[in-house]
Structure 1
Amino acid sequence: MLIPRAATASSPATSLDWIDQSIAIYLILPILLFCLWFIPLATAILLVLTSFASWQALRGPSTGSTGLNTKFILSVFALSLGWTAVAGVGHFFYSNSDWLTRDAVLHDLSVSGWPPTYLLADASHLILRAPVGYFLPSAAVGYLFGPDAANFAIYLWTVLGWWLFLLAACRLFDTLRERILCLLVLTLFGGMDLLGHAWAYREIAVPGQHIEWWMPSIQYSANTTLLFWVPNHALPAWLGIVLILRHWQQPSLARITPLLATAVPLWSPLAAIGLFPFFLFGLAWRRDRKILFSPWSCFAFIPIALLTMKYLGMDAAEVPHGWMAEMWGTWDLFAYRYVLFCLLEFGFLALILARITHFNRPMQIAVATLCLLPFYYLGIGNDLAMRASVPALCVLALATIRPLAQQQGRTLWHGLLVVTLLVGGLSAAQEPERAFIEPAWKPLGKTIPASVRREHPEAGSLFPAHYFAHEDSTILMALMRQPKALDVSKEKPY
């Protein structure tokens, strides 16, 4: 059982240790940089309020003990350095095609004034409207020291996030055996996509083949897929859920909730959606409401939180959305695909866990969330399912650790758990295999429109709706700075 045993581990869940505080600072730092997007007076006010609120959230009772020894902490850091490099972050190994866009976002944030704006042929402007939290610290380094520094900075920034996630997750368990299993499971956790691919294409996947899209228009990504393709969405989801689980129903969760609710959306609004039900049930609302709604922390976050929401919501209606059954044509076809998808991605695992461990509230929320997400799509690639599922999948991954570590009373169900995780691990291994098959390549140093032209030459627009919005006359634009716009009309994609 994952909760409440975590509350009795060597690092008390009623207080914040240095790992908790580091995660909170890691997540809130981009918000502090986002304050610089506004006119000087607004920037000063927002920085003071947000810094003060963050200090209030983190200054309470704390403990220096994490229950993890120095050797273990340094070993996990070394593993994080290597695995993040293999993931393609920093371009030391092969980087997946999504990094064309990630590099372009980092480039535009590094070379232009904040907020980046783009000059169109008709003399109108578009503004970069995207969850930029992951990129901002590295972009600040790139602005000061150049594009190469930004590329290395985003590698180190990702290493730091993955390292903190692994440490925070391992801290939920008491024994070295459990913690080593935790590292293995979280690194290679995924659904049984090999079986799904074989069903969809009547073939066995070749090494390095991307197999996550075996079901049309819906994907629950393996942890390798998330780190190798979308660390910008995965890291806030992973870091947020381990904090919630560790501080479940504790006053400490109420203390840090305003900070997390402010920070996570700028990283990934869809990750925030996936975290919401866990916050909803993880907080002791009646007992801790005064802590949660403290005027010194909660209310001081409101100005930047509202501006962030307004920024992320600009032209949001232009993003494709609708019911999945309508996309697939009929409810009968939807029902068939839905059941098969759920069984292979998480259903068999959840059924096994229900037999061998206490199916507690976080696990119930995880399964309910994963069952509901396929009904509605949002985004060109249905980003809602891919990103909002991350916290729930992480809960199920963590729930396997103690049954795996159990040495007495093992049953056939424990064997089935091992088999299910092995199939999922082999599926997830397709991603690192590609890193050793394909050659590495360097960032192109191009803007987002040029990268779109190169990656999708058939695209009707170089300014996709999920990355750009039209400037409007709202208070948001009145408060934002107006830097010189980037003229991308003559930029070549190569």
Structure 2
Amino acid sequence: MNKKNLFVSLSYIYIALPFLIFVLGWVKWYISIPAAFFILYALYRMLKKDCDLWLPTWNKDTIRLGLLIVIVIGIWVYFSGVGGMAYQNTDHRWRNQIFQMLVNYDWPLVKDVTVDNVTETRGMIYYIGFWLPAALVGKLLGLRAGYLFQMVWALLGITLIYYYICAFFKKLSIYPLLAFIFFSGLDIIGVYMRNNDMSGLTNHEHIDFWCGIAQYSSMSTLLFWVFNQAIYAWLILCIIFAQKDNRHIVFIWSLAMINATFPFVGMIPFVIYKMIKNNRQKPGAFKERIPLFFKGVCTIENIFAGGFVGIISFIYLIGNISAQKVNPTLSSQVYSTTGFLFLASFFFLVEAGFYLFVMYPYQKNNILYYIVIIILVICPYIRVGSGADFCMRASIPALFVMYLLFIDTFSKSIHDKKWVIAAGLSILFLIGCATPYREFCRTVIRTSDMYINNSNFPVDPVSEIEIIGADNFSGNIEGNFFYHYLAK
């Protein structure tokens, strides 16, 4: 392995490993072996490929800074509760049970369950990718080792993400990391405007869902609540943006399905943008570049490796009961009222609009800027299942790109001495910090209480029936194509 490609090579392995474990552990051998072959072939081609992505010049100062960055990321991961070493937010009770069932049961995970007085056989159908490497460790070394590996796996993933962030800006620095940790919409303004009262803001409770109809989560909220989707969404998007051609881009994108299903959908505009941008960099007129586009996309890596990953993942995930409940809210009488339109508009303004307005002078010629606006305007109007999960999670890629635009605009405004823009972004950022600050405060207070009271770490999971019997996490295997034809 070429040493200069270490970060990139590790990132490729990181995103491919969960699906490799899934296909070899859950799928019949005569399907899994060809799939694994093409995935490993694609990985080999990607690892062998020359990489000119920026790397820092390593010396005593940059090594110290790199170690400091890893320590800060480690502290962030610790406070998130991943691995169960600190207080875990309520969502972890479900995630812990998913993980424990993956460790304790044979794969594919199938269990009889009684729902509404009817006994049926259900299979786990969920975006389980993040847990599969740790579950494998748990099966070999025990549950506690598996939990600890989750923490290590999250630390590695975020370190790789931050490498790409530094590479995009060609500078090793800690301030973009601190901005990443504390970047958020202006939730505290939304809470105050809706309640006309600040008294409820001193209890350190979760405030991201102030709007009631939609939510755009801060970066820390995503790590503290939905780490399994956020880490893979951030990293895969970074890898896609780093591609200089389209030879592997579909394969890379397809790996998001089993790890971060809703963000996979949210990446579609960015994948299209990147593919078109890569093709436009080729010489020749537009008509001459059209066949080059298809030649660049139609590779063994994209068609066969990406095809196996995408088709198997889709067949598996479509069996999830909640996935079959797609309701565009524009067609709903409740969500087409004037009140909803006003609230959705105010929600966009508070969560993204102010930031995007201040960024405009520097980003007005950047297509990514307009893609972010379109996605963040549309997301509240689409629902999958009974809740606002689609809005909350499909928006992860767009919010990450907005963070990158924030760093880009702030850095350029400081360099150009555009103090009004720099000050405006600083004020918005400091107001937004109220949301991640509350996440950290809640962890500190409740972790202390749990140690004093000798409570369990990690938090006690929900019952198995609340996973395998819940529509969000399972599907009836009767008539299920994956469990009937593909699963072992």
| 8 Å CA contact 1:237, 1:390 repeated in 2 | yes
Corresponding position of 1:181: 175
Q: Which stretch of structure 1 is more off in the superposition, 324-333 or 153-162?
A: 324-333
Sequence identity of aligned pairs in percent? 22
**Inter-partner Cα distance in structure 2 for 1:396 and 1:147:** 38
Alpha-carbon offset, residue 194 of structure 1: 0.4
From 94, 105, 126, give the equivalent of 1:101.
Answer: 94
Corresponding position of 1:386: 392
Corresponding position of 1:418: 426
Partner SS for 1:120: strand
Structure 1 runs of 4+ with >6 Å offset: none
Partner SS for 2:300: coil
Unaligned 5+ runs, structure 1: 1-15, 453-461, 483-494
| 8 Å CA contact 1:181, 1:401 repeated in 2 | no
Distance 1:244 1:296, change over 3 A: closer
| 8 Å CA contact 2:15, 2:236 repeated in 1 | no
Partner SS for 2:70: helix
| 8 Å CA contact 2:103, 2:135 repeated in 1 | yes
> Deviation per CA, 1:78-124, whole angstroms, max 9, x where unpaired?
22211100111122221101000110010011111111111124653
TM-score of the pair, normalised by structure 1: 0.85
TM-score of the pair, normalised by structure 2: 0.86
| 8 Å CA contact 2:375, 2:398 repeated in 1 | yes
From 382, 396, 402, give the equivalent of 1:396.
Answer: 402
> Deviation per CA, 1:278-336, whole angstroms, max 9, x where unpaired?
01011135444323211355323323421111000014466544233537454201111
Q: Which stretch of structure 1 is more off in the superposition, 123-132 or 256-265?
A: 256-265
| 8 Å CA contact 1:188, 1:224 repeated in 2 | yes
The answer to whether 1:477 aligns with 2:470 is: no
| 8 Å CA contact 1:208, 1:434 repeated in 2 | yes
Distance 1:356 1:292, change over 3 A: closer
Corresponding position of 1:23: 11
Corresponding position of 1:338: 344
**Inter-partner Cα distance in structure 2 for 1:359 and 1:344:** 23
Partner SS for 1:400: helix
Unaligned 5+ runs, structure 2: 280-289, 451-455
Partner SS for 2:86: coil
> Deviation per CA, 1:122-178, whole angstroms, max 9, x where unpaired?
6531000000111100000111111111110111111111111112112211345xx
Alpha-carbon offset, residue 356 of structure 1: 4.2
Corresponding position of 1:432: 440
Partner SS for 1:362: helix
**Inter-partner Cα distance in structure 2 for 1:227 and 1:374:** 21
Corresponding position of 1:367: 373
| 8 Å CA contact 1:108, 1:447 repeated in 2 | no
Partner SS for 2:168: coil
The amino acid that maps onto 1:269 is T
Partner SS for 2:67: helix
The answer to whether 1:60 aligns with 2:49 is: yes
| 8 Å CA contact 1:138, 1:150 repeated in 2 | yes
Corresponding position of 1:44: 33
**Inter-partner Cα distance in structure 2 for 1:359 and 1:244:** 21
| 8 Å CA contact 2:81, 2:89 repeated in 1 | yes
| 8 Å CA contact 2:69, 2:174 repeated in 1 | no
Corresponding position of 1:11: none
**Inter-partner Cα distance in structure 2 for 1:128 and 1:288:** 39
When the two chains are superposed, the root-mean-square deviation of aligned CA atoms in Å is: 2.3
Alpha-carbon offset, residue 201 of structure 1: 2.3
**Inter-partner Cα distance in structure 2 for 1:151 and 1:383:** 25
| 8 Å CA contact 1:193, 1:211 repeated in 2 | yes
Alpha-carbon offset, residue 42 of structure 1: 2.9
Corresponding position of 1:295: 300
**Inter-partner Cα distance in structure 2 for 1:382 and 1:332:** 19
Alpha-carbon offset, residue 357 of structure 1: 4.3
The amino acid that maps onto 1:449 is E
Partner SS for 2:106: coil
